[in-house]
Structure 1
Amino acid sequence: MEQAEGRLACIRAAREASEQAAHREAHAIPFGQPNIEGRGNIYKHVQQEWKRAERLAQEETRAAERVDMLSKVEAFKEHHDDLQDVRVVGRTGWASMGAATSVNNLDYFRNQVTQLQAANEEAKAFNKTHKGEKKATYGAKITQLNKKIAYLEHMREQAESATISEHSQQLIDSGAVTQWQKKPVYYFVRVLRKVALTLNEQGDFQPSKWYPPKTEEAQQRVAALIQQ
């Protein structure tokens, strides 16, 4: 958040400086002075500064939207004390948010199940004694969350008990691959976008089925890493 706010402040200051420079350049030119054929454009620097200011204004808008979004994320996490990782859809303050499917959120999901189970029992008890008005029950939601918890617990156990070969450990230590903290069975390849490896039974890396290399360049880089 602090980094985003700092970047916004820097962009805003640069935009204001460009606007001021454009005004100074324009004021230095006599009013109504035309360009003279065969000579350089006397408004060149003014135009350059305004173009730069316009570009910075667009960057400022995007940076401000990111700050708004991050503020919303912080507020969302403060409202849910046991939530570690937030899933964000969108890049502005209007972004939608929820709990990410992450091993770091296991406590949050367990607490959600406990709360839903209590609400579900209350709703069922109410429905038994009220034939007309009915309260919604949460059986399907509880089942869904329990499946998610089982999936994440299995993933965490798999990551913690995984065999790691000497070569794989060297790749990890060198920073060539980075373990994904949300889903620790995946190791993302540095400099490649959304390309991950997983460990096989021997502890060697192999391309992930969910995040495979899609371009020839990415495939060659992954092959080179694995075969080093």
Structure 2
Amino acid sequence: MENLLNEGVKSVEIENRVLKRAKGKLKRIRREYEENMEAISKENELIPFGQPNIIGRRDIYKDIKRKYAKSIKLIKAEEKQERRIAMLETVDEFKKENELLKDVHVVGKSEYASIGAKTSVSNLDYFKEKLIDLEKQNEEAKAFNKTKPARKKKTYGAEITKLKKKIAYLESMKEKDETKVLSEKTQALIDSGAVTQWQKKPIYYFVKGLKKVALEIDEKGNFFMSPSYPAYSTSDEQVVKELLSE
């Protein structure tokens, strides 16, 4: 439980840093835009009003045109960054309203992004509380429907079954991680940084330098290739083979 709390604290700290960096980037974009517009204004003052380009000579408006093009890019960058900040603030607000929620997945890049809970060990308490609430709503709906109303209330049997399976899956994963035994070789690989434990699903250890290739630990405490995140390429297979044979 202490590990989960620590992960939750780390997650909040990371999110705060991300939002702070995003706001800092927006300030830099706006400052660069203002400086660019000032430069355009100064260059315009150096060119006589209505001065035409002379054929065969350098385009006297070339630098100004380039700076105007840059301004358009900066305006678009500003709008994009504003949407990102709005999305990050929406996620932050969503988490504050759901205190037990530690890990979220976000679909979209603006304040209208769709936010949901990740299937993560860190979210176990959130899912358990959600299950209690769903079961309560389900019982109330069933009791109401027994009165034979003109319009029945929705029941949540399917959602409850699905949520129970998710909780059981995460609890099994959490227990497996907490009761695991590590061989000296496995411990040495972890300590060396060759593999990194996935905190959201702690039975998986991703191999450093490879994309989505993970190992799991067997009953004897030894690593083996995860069937969920196997190596597909020959080169990745060779890296894992050498790692396990060390």
Question: For the superposition of Structure 1 and Structure 2, which TM-score range results when normalised by the shorter chain?
Answer: 0.7 to 0.9
SS of the residue 2:116 aligns to: strand
Paired residues of 2:53 and 2:59 also in contact (CA < 8 A) = no
1:172 pairs with 2:190: yes
Alpha-carbon offset, residue 41 of structure 1: 5.5
User: For each residue in 1:27-61, what CA deviation from the matched residue of structure 2 results, as whole angstroms up to 9, or x when unmatched?
Assistant: 33444252674x76554543443444343333333
Q: Deviations over 1:142-165 (max 9, x none)?
A: 111111000000111112222334
* Other-structure match for 1:130: 148
Q: Which moved more, 1:150-159 or 1:217-226?
A: 217-226
Q: How does 1:70-85 map to 2 (within 5 A)?
A: 70-85=88-103
3-state SS of paired residue (1:155): helix
Identity %: 47
Gaps of 5+ in 2: 1-18
TM-score by length of 2: 0.76
The alpha carbon displacement at 1:184 in A equals 1.1
Q: Which runs of 4+ in 1 moved over 6 A?
A: none
* 1:180-218, Cα deviation, whole Å (9 max, x unpaired): 221111223445443433334443444433333455555
What is the CA–CA distance in structure 1 between the aligned matches of 2:237 and 2:45, rounded to whole Å?
A: 57
- Provide Cα deviations, 1:108-163, integer angstroms capped at 9, x if missing partner: 11111111222222222222233544222222211111110000001111122223
Q: Find the residue that maps to 2:145 and give its secondary structure.
A: helix
Name 1:7's counterpart in structure 2: 25
What aligned pairs does 1:15-26 form with structure 2 within 5 A after superposition? Answer: 15-26=33-44
Amino acid in the other structure paired with 1:89:
V
Q: Secondary structure at the match of 1:65?
A: helix
Q: Aligned to 1:130, what secondary structure does the other structure show?
A: coil
Q: Distance in 1 between matches of 2:183 and 2:71?
A: 53
- Deviation of 1:76 (Å): 1.1
Give, in whole Å, the separation in 2 of the partners of 1:75 and 1:148.
25
**CA distance in 2: counterparts of 1:57 and 1:215, whole angstroms:** 43
The yes-or-no answer on 1:99 pairing with 2:121 is no
Q: From 148, 158, 165, give the equivalent of 2:176.
A: 158
SS at match of 1:129: coil
Does residue 1:34 correspond to 2:53, yes or no?
yes
Unpaired runs of 5+ residues, structure 1, are: none
Are the equivalent residues in 1 in contact too, given 2:198–2:206 (CA < 8 A)?
yes
Distance 1:48 1:215 in 2: 46
Given the alignment of the two structures, is residue 181 of structure 1 paired with residue 181 of structure 2, yes or no?
no
- Aligned equivalents of 2:76 and 2:237: distance in 1? 36
Cα distance in 1, alignment partners of residues 32 and 244 from structure 2: 45
Query: Equivalents in 2 of 1:43, 1:204: separation in Å?
Result: 69
Paired with 1:83 and 1:100, the residues of 2 have a C-alpha distance of 9
Corresponding letter in the other structure for 1:34: N
- 1:196 pairs with 2:211: no
- In 1, distance between residues paired with 2:152 and 2:160? 19
Q: Which of the residues 66, 91, 105 maps onto 1:87? A: 105
Task: Return 7-16 or 51-60, whichever deviates more.
Answer: 51-60
Deviates more, 1:27-36 or 1:7-16: 27-36
**Residues of 2 paired with 1:42 and 1:169: CA distance?**
68
How far apart, CA to CA, are the structure 2 residues paired with 1:216 and 1:57?
46
CA RMSD of aligned residues (A): 2.9
91-100 or 161-170, larger mean C-alpha shift: 161-170
CA distance in 2, matches of 1:189, 1:58: 38
What is the number of equivalent residue pairs in this alignment?
A: 227
